[in-house]
Amino acid sequence: MDTIVKKNKRTRIADLLKSDKTNYTVTVKGWVRTFRANRFIALTDGSTSTTLQVVVDFEKMDAELLKRVTTGAAIGVTGEVVESQGAGQKIELVATDLEIYGDSDPSKYPLQPKKHSLEFLREIAHLRFRTTTFNAVFRIRHALAFAIHKFFNDRGFVYMHTPIITGSDAEGAGEMFHVTNLDLNKIPKTEEGKIDYKKDFFEKETNLTVSGQLEAELGAMGFGEVYTFGPTFRAENSNTSRHLAEFWMIEPEIAFADLDDDMDLAEDMLKYVIKYAMEHCEEEIKFLDARLTKEDSQKPKDQRSPMSLIEKLKFSVENDFERITYTEAIDILRNSKPNKKKKFSYIIEDWGADLQSEHERFLVEKHFKKPVILTDYPKDIKAFYMRMNDDNKTVRAMDILFPGIGEIVGGSQREERLDVLEKRMEEMDIPKDEMFWYLDTRRFGTCPHAGFGLGFERLIMFVTGMTNIRDVIPFPRTPGNAEF
Ligand code: 4AD
Ligand code: MG
């Protein structure tokens, strides 16, 4: 046992590069990025996006062994840390001993030491963790997840695990994946010819959750402040760069709170987690910033982004989000150039229209040029649980819109008045009997409360500057694709 531990002792490249110290012996283990001139190995172990330069003296090493040092091979190197002769790094490792753990046939290995397109890398998502870009993206994903827990924990929120299998459709949109263990070739039927769910595993119809909100509301009525952070599933057939069938959502729910409290919480949280990533993933963000700047420089001038990634992140944490009502937004959009010149695919004519992402992006990117919170939407385009305003036309809803992303957060003050809620459910055909548990919160000790849902992948898109949501989750699930 002891010997195994000793044998595996290795120094992480991230730790090694932190120090300028030289003239000592270390062992590093990692994967070969490139091997140049039979002399210089660029080695990565995933602990940092920077590679370590390993120098080998081919005259002192077994030639057969060196032939096996190819891109992608896993190796271990023991050697002396010395001051680097080359530019771009302070130290390098002069190898005295080299061991191959796993060969990688260069004629078959799909990741070559050159720039691959993101589309190609998506097809080999099982290998893309080994690239610098995805190393940065998924390290930032990790940091953001950690920051979210830290933000809520520091404020006394209780992290609540809401069920993944549920009988309810929280959003009432009917875009659900069914959960069953019935034999699909022999579906049992009732006398009326309907599916007999009594014979199914749960003895009722069930689906994968689209949101943990309704259960989070139950938690908030006991703890005061809770949040969820888990996977959610939507069978919406929208093949866009911003939709996934399986995505992660953060849903805080706060008691004795109105929509203003809710918006303050959401704005504080977003600024906190973006700042956290900027402080803890400086190297990764710098790398992605440079990558985007390079990509941008190849575009026509009028399509280039007015701000770099780092400028955009700074801007969003340093400025207040613009807060306006849906009605004000409709006025702005109706009078906007692209609406008048019929440049929008959906022309805004009447109050009540649902906003498309082109409208959201106009408001954020062209009109206000900063994050925007839209409030008080028409009741007909929002969910049943949102609190009715006195005008009986709008509900106390809010969406936060971000540049380059569109909607990143959706939330509302909840309808806490039993009679108003029941009326709304009847109007919208939501089965009241089955939702007795939800209505019980309004029957016993109801109180004003509010919450929101943050799409985790949309947040990661914003912080990394990645433009396709498939590139910020390790294994994306989209219509027609559930590979890996
Ligand atoms: O606006 P949504 O549908 O709101 C809810 O689900 C509420 N129950 C939240 C609440 O009040 N607790 O979804 C919330 C957020 C969106 O703003 C968006 O960022 C993200 O979830 N989202 C998606 N992200 C990726 N792929 C999809 N298909 C998404 N649908 C929503
Ligand atoms: Mg929404």
> Do 379 and 332 share a domain, yes or no?
yes
pLDDT digits (tens, 9 = 90+) for 355-368: 998 999 999 999 99
> Do 34 and 145 share a domain, yes or no?
no
> Do 85 and 157 share a domain, yes or no?
no
Distance 281 CA to ligand 2 centre (A): 29
pLDDT digits (tens, 9 = 90+) for 190-247: 999 999 999 999 999 999 999 999 999 999 999 999 999 999 999 988 889 999 999 9
> Do 275 and 384 share a domain, yes or no?
yes
Q: Flag whether 110 is in a domain.
A: no
Q: Flag whether 115 is in a domain.
A: no
Residue 152 has pLDDT above 60, yes or no: yes
Q: Flag whether 31 is in a domain.
A: yes
> Do 366 and 445 share a domain, yes or no?
yes
Q: Residue 364 and residue 279: Cα distance in Å, rounded?
A: 25
Closest listed ligand to the CA of 355: 2
Residue 302 — pLDDT band, cuts 50, 70, 90? Answer: confident
Which residues, in sequence order, are CB contacts of 336 under 8 Å at separation 6+? Answer: 362, 366, 367
> Do 363 and 451 share a domain, yes or no?
yes
> Do 220 and 83 share a domain, yes or no?
no
Residue 480 has pLDDT above 60, yes or no: yes
- Structural domain tally of the chain? 2
> Do 95 and 140 share a domain, yes or no?
no
What is the pLDDT at residue 5? 43
> Do 71 and 147 share a domain, yes or no?
no
Q: Flag whether 297 is in a domain.
A: yes
What is the pLDDT at residue 306? 83
Q: What is the arithmetic mean of pLDDT over 167-190?
A: 90
- Domain CATH code at residue 241: 3.30.930.10
Residue 427 has pLDDT above 90, yes or no: yes
User: Cα–Cα distances in Å, from 436 out to 168, 431, 439, 444?
Assistant: 12, 9, 5, 12
Distance 409 CA to ligand 2 centre (A): 7
Rg (CA), the chain: 27
Residue 6 — pLDDT band, cuts 50, 70, 90? Answer: very low
Q: Residue 287 and residue 181: Cα distance in Å, rounded?
A: 47
Q: Flag whether 89 is in a domain.
A: yes
Q: Which domain holds residue 40?
A: 13-102
Q: Flag whether 45 is in a domain.
A: yes
What value does the mean pLDDT of the chain take? 95
Q: Residue 190 and residue 195: Cα distance in Å, rounded?
A: 6
Residue 339 has pLDDT above 50, yes or no: yes
Q: Flag whether 314 is in a domain.
A: yes
Distance 217 CA to ligand 2 centre (A): 17
What is the pLDDT at residue 1? 41
What is the pLDDT at residue 303? 83
> Do 91 and 153 share a domain, yes or no?
no
Distance 386 CA to ligand 2 centre (A): 12
What is the pLDDT at residue 379? 97
Closest listed ligand to the CA of 408: 1
> Do 244 and 313 share a domain, yes or no?
yes
pLDDT digits (tens, 9 = 90+) for 246-275: 999 999 999 999 999 999 999 999 999 999
pLDDT digits (tens, 9 = 90+) for 82-118: 999 877 789 999 999 999 999 999 999 999 888 899 9
Instruction: Name residues with Cβ closer than 5 Å to ligand 2, which is an ion.
Output: 410
> Do 314 and 397 share a domain, yes or no?
yes
What is the pLDDT at residue 228? 98
What is the pLDDT at residue 7? 53
Is the C-beta atom of 364 inside 6 A of ligand 1?
no
Q: Residue 34 and residue 112: Cα distance in Å, rounded?
A: 9
